[in-house]
Amino acid sequence: MISFAMTDEQEAAREAVRGFAADAMRPVARAYDEASAIPDAFFARAWELGLTATQIPEAHGGYGAARSPVTNAIVLEELAHGDAALALAAVTPTLFAYAVADHGTDAQRAAYLPALCGERFQAASLAVNEPAPGFNPLAPRTTASRNGKGFVLSGTKCFVPLADRASRFLVVARHGDRLDAFIVPREAPGLGIAEPEKNLGLKALSTNTLTFDGVRVPEDDRLGGSRGADIARLLNHCRVGVAAVLNGVARAVLDYCVPYAKERVAFGEAIARKQSIAFRLAEMHIEIESMRWMVWKAASELELGADATRSAHLARSYAAEKALWIADNGVQVLGGHGFIREHPVEMWYRNARTLGVLEGIVSV
Amino acid sequence: MIDLNPSRNDQRVLDAVREEALVARRYARYYDENEHEFPPDELPEAKDRPAFMSHLTGRSEHDAGMAVLTTLIAMGQTWGDYSVRMRRNDRGLGNAALQAAGTDEQKRRWGDLVLAMAITEPGCGSDPSLVRTTATRDGDHWVLNGEKIFVTTGCRAEGVVVWATIDRDAGRAGIKSFLVLKGTPGFVVAHKEKKLGIRADDTAAYVFQDCRIPRDHLLGGNEEIPKESSGGFRGVMKTFNMTRPLVAAIGLGMAEAALDFTRDALREAGVDITYGGTLHGQSAAAERFIRLEALFEAARLATLRAAWLGDQGQSNNMEASIAKAKAGAAVREITQGCIEILGPMAVSREHLLEKWFRDVRITDIYEGTGEIQRLIIARTLLGYSRNELR
């Protein structure tokens, strides 16, 4: 049924995180970006929102709310409106937790979920991206080969969020002609965690390159056990997630540009009163709205258990293209000020460019 | 609950629309090449088919509201052809104006007629304050004088809603809508335009010369001139909140047809289109195609959003403009892009793609150009009045 109506719970969730984004994220975003680090206090405060525990079953220590990709997409847009890097940091544990909750065996759920639903912040992460041109998440170069009853992982992963704090990783690898994901603790022999990466955008979010040099994984730690897991579906959740984050970044840009353009005077009137600026702002608004409905459509298909591959792909590629266009034009609306780090727009421009090429960085 | 796919009941209706659209499509080329002929009110194939309304039974609260359903049906129909339909149960833009601005009595009297809408004049398009056609009171009559152009369905319509000013000095506030029936002395259909596309739908030019109509043919019946600031003109413009998403949908149906044709042709040529990968897993043609598909989805959902707000009884002034602006630009880019993807075969009149390319071009022009839509969106976004942002 075609309906754009949010549930009462979704409205409430949106309000709650909107306040957090405005009070606890936006004011510190620039400082953390400059420092390329997020203090522990932020993680502790974000943890109180229960972002990870909410949709984990009570039996595994969570709050037992229904898994809802739509709600998560709504929440991610709001968090990213505060700051994309902090948003990703706050929800990185869900990358691991949702994958295990959705695809794991009962034993895997029981073993790994309670720790991510405790009172104190706990990190676990997902390793999808690889540092070679031609990267395709459906055809990774990282491989898993049979070794007796278990597997051996070889390859390199990059842009693994919060790898400096994560206790374990879910690693996507090619296994023959199929895709699988493997649970690897950070102490695993053969796993190398390199120095923090230095990136164009999302600078506050720590990311690392991981090298797998013959890392042994027991059969029980293949996601989904002997059945394996539908990794394409897992990646679809991630694509919708990143599209929702891009949606939030794009909205942040427009919300900043509107008052600026109404205040900035040139040739005797506010620049917003000139069609070349006003139409650009209108165009930004059109695209922010349109991309949101694409995110919602893909998320609702995921929620209903349908194959959302096409919708998720379209939502992500559209959001990536348009959010970058919006951030790019945001810089232009501010002119020279758009280039200066006193304003956040140059940061959003870097963030939009960065987010648009990442896979498996955030999930719904 | 958020769900942006049609219900099973909705899909049943859309399947029936698709079947009829396939029949209409067989006639599409003929009426494009024979612009002087009107398609019949009912195609021969329609005789043995169930009446379309029979598909609309058994609907529940789990199905789409009427505005959303109408939008989807319009898309489905123009997927077949812009103006050839199996049955002509459609109404003109004038009917929407009558519904928005007429009194109950007027709706009863004229609601069953096909009504065109005459706004544009040789010297006035997007800026209605320049309307020169006058209506002058003379006892129990109005006397109309002036010229109107670009009247959609103007030849086939049984009546027309005409914008005329009752006081030229009052600007937009002096503009009123009048209903004029065909056959009224002094009302002449001057000629039929020859167009780039949508040729099976006639476009007329009218002349009114001392055309006398009864006093009660003023839509809404209010003869007073509202103060410019009171928003009296806004009532007239409200018509467009209902029709703009529909116009968007009409263009999108043809863009979807172009995408479907292109996808089939690519597949036949052995070009795989796969989702879920990155640029590297795809040919340039497939990548380009997917971008056009995404653009289509964006415009389609923006249009459904505007219609859905209408169904909820919520204000959709800005969203109607978003739908029209987004779809107007998208259908141009989609049909242009599909031709580029397929190359020389695409410009042959053997296929309908070149026709869709011509047909959709009007979407960004009529019922408010893309520029006018952006003006409306920008004013709302910036909180500016008409005078603050021109």
- Contact list in B for residue A291 (CB cut-off 8 A) is 298
Give me the pLDDT at residue B241, please. Answer: 75
Same domain membership, residue B55 and residue B148: no
Taking the alpha carbons at both ends of chain B, their separation in whole angstroms is 40
Q: Is B246 on the interface with A (CB under 8 A)?
A: no
- Beta carbons of B208 and B153 less than 8 angstroms apart: no
A304, closest residue in chain B (CA to CA): B3
The Cα–Cα gap between A54 and A324 comes to: 31
Residue span of the structural domain in which B70 resides = 8-80
Contacts of B125 (CB under 8 A, 6+ apart): B369
Query: Would you say residue B71 lies in a domain?
Result: yes
pLDDT in tens, A147-166: 998 999 999 999 999 999 99
Contact A258/B382, CB-based, under 8 Å? yes
A325 within 8 A of B361, measured Cβ to Cβ: no
* Interface check B378 vs A, CB under 8 A: yes
CB B263 within 8 A of CB B289: yes
Give the dihedral of Cα atoms A150, A156, A160, A165; nearest 10 deg.
70
B7 in reach of chain A (CB within 8 A): yes
Residue B22 to residue A211: CA distance in whole angstroms: 56
Same domain for B121 and B32:
no
Q: pLDDT value at position B148?
A: 96
Residues A309-318 have pLDDT tens digits of 999 999 999 9
Query: Could you give the dihedral angle defined by the CA atoms of residues B36, B38, B43 and B44, in that order, rounded to the nearest 10 degrees?
Result: -60
- The secondary element (H helix, E strand) that includes residue A126 is strand A125-127
Distance from CA of A354 to the nearest CA of B (A): 15
User: Do residue A261 and residue B291 have CB atoms under 8 angstroms apart?
Assistant: no
Contacting B residues, span 69-98, partner chain A, CB-CB under 8 Å? 72
> How far is the alpha carbon of B342 from chain A, nearest alpha carbon, in Å?
21
**B288 and B198 housed in the same domain:** no
| Distance of residue B349 Cα from the nearest chain A Cα, in angstroms | 31
What is the pairing mode between strands A125-127 and A143-147? Answer: unpaired
Whether residues B249 and B184 share a domain: the answer is no
B207, part of any domain: yes
In a domain, residue B198? The reply is yes
Number of domains in chain B: 3
- What number of other Cβ atoms are within 10 A of residue A282's Cβ? 26
Would an 8 Å CB–CB cutoff place B68 in contact with chain A? yes
Residues B217, B320: one domain?
no
Cα distances (Å, whole numbers) of residue A204 to A198, A345, A363? 10, 16, 19
Please answer yes or no on whether B326 and A290 come within 8 Å at the CB atom: yes
- Average pLDDT by stretches of 10, chain B with 390 residues: 94 94 95 90 86 79 90 95 79 84 94 93 86 95 96 92 92 91 96 92 94 96 74 62 90 98 97 86 92 98 96 93 98 98 96 97 94 97 95
Shortest CA distance to B352 belongs to which of B339, B362, B343?
B339
How far A286 CA lies from chain B's nearest CA (Å)?
A: 6
- What CATH number is given to the structural domain containing B322? 1.20.140.10
State how far the Cα of B287 lies from the Cα of A50, in Å rounded to an integer. 39
Q: Which of B196, B226, B256 is the last residue of a domain?
A: B226
A211 pLDDT more than 60:
yes
What is the DSSP secondary structure assignment for residue B121, as one 8-state letter? B
In a domain, B74, yes or no: yes
Domain boundary among B80, B103, B118: B80
A82, A22 contact by CB (below 8 A): yes
Mean pLDDT of A331-351: 97
Minimum distance, in Å, between the CA of residue B350 and any CA atom of chain A: 31
Q: Are A297 and B297 in contact (CB < 8 Å)?
A: yes
Residues within 8 A of A (CB atoms), B 318-347 only: 319, 322, 325-326
Q: How confident is the model at residue A132 (pLDDT cuts 50, 70, 90)?
A: confident
- Contact assessment for residue A121 and residue A94, using Cβ atoms and an 8 Å cutoff: no
pLDDT of residue B238: 67
Rounded CA separation A124/A101 (Å): 13
Q: Which chain B residues are Cβ-neighbours of A297 within 8 angstroms?
A: 4-5, 297, 301
Are the C-beta atoms of residues A25 and A82 closer than 8 Å to each other? yes
SS3 B385: coil
- Report yes or no: B223 at the A interface, CB cutoff 8 Å: no
pLDDT, tens digit, 9 for 90 and up, residues A251-277:
999 999 999 999 999 999 999 999 999
The reply to whether B61 belongs to the active site is no
Last residue of a domain, one of B186, B201, B226: B226
**Chain B residues lying within 8 Å of A359, measured CB to CB:** 278
Are both B98 and B74 inside the same structural domain? no
Q: Which string of b and e fits B279-289 if b means at least 16 CB within 10 Å?
A: eebbeebbebb
Closest to A224 measured CA to CA, from A279, A158, A175, A270: A175
User: What is the model's pLDDT at position B231?
Assistant: 52
> How many beta carbons lie within 10 A of that of residue A143, not counting itself?
15
d(CA B385, CA A107): 63
The pLDDT tens digits of the residues spanning A69-105 come to: 999 999 999 999 999 999 999 999 999 999 999 999 9
Kindly tell me if the per-residue pLDDT of A9 is higher than 60. Answer: yes
Nearest CB to B382: which of A2, A262, A283? A262
pLDDT confidence of A196, banded at 50, 70, 90? very high
Q: Which chain A residue's Cα is nearest to B299?
A: A290
Q: By the CB < 8 Å criterion, does B382 face chain A?
A: yes
Q: Could you tell me if residue B3 is inside a domain?
A: no
- Do residues B161 and B274 share a domain? no
| Domains of chain A, earliest start first | 8-117 (1.10.540.10), 125-227 (2.40.110.10), 231-355 (1.20.140.10)
User: Is the same domain home to B242 and B325?
Assistant: yes
Residue B86: inside a domain: no
A2 contacts B308? CB cut-off 8 A:
yes
Residues B212 and B241 in one domain: no
Q: Which residue out of B354, B367, B371, B388 is catalytically annotated?
A: B367
Interface pTM, i.e. ipTM: 0.95
Chain A residues touching B5 at Cβ < 8 A: 2, 297, 300-301, 306
One domain, residues B291 and B191: no
- Token reading at B383: 């909180």
Is residue B2 assigned to a domain? no
B325 contacts in chain A (CB < 8 Å): 282, 286
Specify whether B220 is located in the same domain as B284.
no
Angle between helix axes A345-355 and A26-35 (nearest 10 degrees) is 70
Q: Where are the beta strands (DSSP E) in B153-304?
A: 159-165, 175-181, 187-192, 203-214
**pLDDT of A224 higher than 60:** yes
Say if B326 falls within a structural domain: yes
Task: For residue B175, give the CATH number of its domain.
Answer: 2.40.110.10
Distance (Å) from the C-alpha of residue A291 to the closest C-alpha of chain B? 6
At residue A220 the predicted structure's pLDDT band, cuts being 50, 70 and 90, is very high
Q: Which helix (H) or strand (E) holds A158?
A: strand A150-161
Q: What is the mean pLDDT of residues A62-66?
A: 96
Asked if residue B288 and residue B162 are part of one domain, the reply reads no
What is the Cα–Cα distance from B149 to B98, expressed in whole angstroms?
Answer: 20
